[in-house]
């Protein structure tokens, strides 16, 4: 299942290797902290993935200078920012704008509608993507809000601003 590549821009942000690597270095401590906290708060998320816990997912927010590599294995959890020229081989890739991907995390946006509207591109193992989607759907509360709360009022304010930006 693949959306038309002419609709989802592959690299809306110019691929500047130095910018990408610097961005990865800056954002990685935040990603590590967030993924550890989310894993501790929502351990059942992994159970829903079944055999896809070891699948490598590339989540590509096309308007950021890097992609994200996720391997949702609770014994060897990986969530890291990677420059696009160093993206590892993936079992599945999910590509869209950052704000759309943020909304999909908390089921605030209909993934099927985004896919058929060609705002979202999915390639590779679609069963793994469906399992990931179902696992996220089953989470009580909001993963994005849990992550924002880790950073107190500034984190909540940034999330609120991002959500307002998505709505417009």
Q: What is the pLDDT of residues 28-62, one digit of tens each?
A: 999 999 999 988 988 888 888 999 999 999 999 99
Residue of higher predicted confidence among 97 and 4: 97
- Structure confidence by residue, pLDDT tens digits, 104-163: 887 666 777 777 788 889 999 999 999 998 888 888 878 888 888 989 999 899 888 888
Q: What are the tokens at 89?
A: 């081989």
For residue 135, give every residue at least 6 positions away whose Cβ sits within 8 Å of its Cβ, in sequence order, or none. 45, 46, 48, 49, 72
In this prediction the pTM is 0.83
Task: Tell which residue, 158, 154, 147, 157, has the closest CA to residue 40.
Answer: 147
Domain-wise residue ranges, the chain: 17-167
Identify the CATH class of 17-167: alpha beta
Q: How far apart are CA 29 and CA 27, in angstroms?
A: 6
């Amino acid at each position: 299942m693949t959306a038309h590549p002419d609709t989802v821009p592959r690299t809306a942000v110019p691929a500047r290797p130095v910018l990408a690597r610097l961005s990865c270095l800056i954002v990685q401590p935040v990603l590590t902290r967030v993924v550890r906290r989310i894993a501790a708060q929502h351990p059942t998320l992994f159970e829903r993935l079944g055999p896809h816990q070891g699948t490598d997912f590339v989540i590509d927010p096309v308007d950021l200078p890097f992609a994200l590599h996720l391997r949702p294995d609770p014994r060897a959890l990986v969530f890291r920012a990677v420059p696009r020229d160093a993206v590892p081989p993936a079992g599945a890739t999910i590509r869209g704008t950052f704000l759309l991907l943020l909304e999909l995390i908390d089921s605030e946006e209909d993934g099927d509608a985004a896919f058929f509207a060609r705002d979202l591109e999915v390639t590779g193992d679609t069963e793994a993507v469906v399992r990931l989607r179902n696992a996220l759907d089953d989470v009580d509360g909001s993963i994005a809000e849990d992550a924002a709360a880790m950073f107190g009022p500034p984190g909540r304010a940034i999330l609120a601003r991002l959500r307002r930006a998505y709505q417009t």
